[in-house]
A = this chain, B = another copy of it.
Amino acid sequence: MARWEPGARERLVLAAVALFSEQGYDETTVTQIAERAGVTKSTFFRHFPDKRELLAAGQETLSRLLAEGIADAPAGSSPLDAVAAGLDRASGEMGPMNRELGPRLKAAVAASAELQERDALKSVGMAAAMTTALVARGVAEAPARLASEIGVLAFKQGFDRWSGTARNDDDGLARHTLAALAELRAATAALG
């Protein structure tokens, strides 16, 4: 199973998010990020085309894990049960670094229109990956889209709660994303 990459790549992400929250996204240069991470600029560019893509670093992995979890859900799973399997798979890959970075990333995004747009597109990508995986399981288009949007909401809410709470426990992200999914599932009954 894929792991978040350690080493230079991880140091670059940590350095970038630290600089974004210290001095703002727009004011932060690739040179500063590389310096803070203790690597050369060409090492930066071996890992990321630019500073914006750096923020999308975990995103492709996340979409892939959600889709894989959905694909591997037991035959006959309902759309939302398959989404739960996707959330469980992706959540299991998120560790202390993701939890630690969450609130700082959120602050950086809140302060930058460019990052807000980037962030919105990430949600669209996550939903698209899940929809494709659900349709591949034979789920019809409309419930597939709907289940995917619910999955995105559950992941975001669960991540917010997890990364906003005390970090000196060994609480996993999965508990929070699956609880958020259960709430949303219950809420479908109240839609009318």
- Residues of A with Cβ closer than 8 Å to B? 77-81, 116-118, 120-121, 123-124, 139-140, 142-143, 145-147, 149-150, 153, 183-188, 190-192
Taking CB atoms, residues of chain B closer than 8 Å to A190 are 79, 139-140, 143
Count copies of this chain in the complex.
Answer: 2
- The 3 closest A-B CB pairs, nearest first, are A78-B192, A117-B117, A120-B120
6 extra interface residue pairs, beta carbon distance < 8 Å, beyond A146-B187, A149-B149, A188-B191: A79-B191, A79-B192, A80-B192, A116-B121, A146-B184, A147-B191
Instruction: Judge whether A191 and B117 touch: CB under 8 Å.
Output: no
In whole angstroms, how far apart are the Cα atoms of A77 and B191 in the complex? 10
Chain B residues contacting A124 (CB-CB under 8 Å) are 116, 120, 123
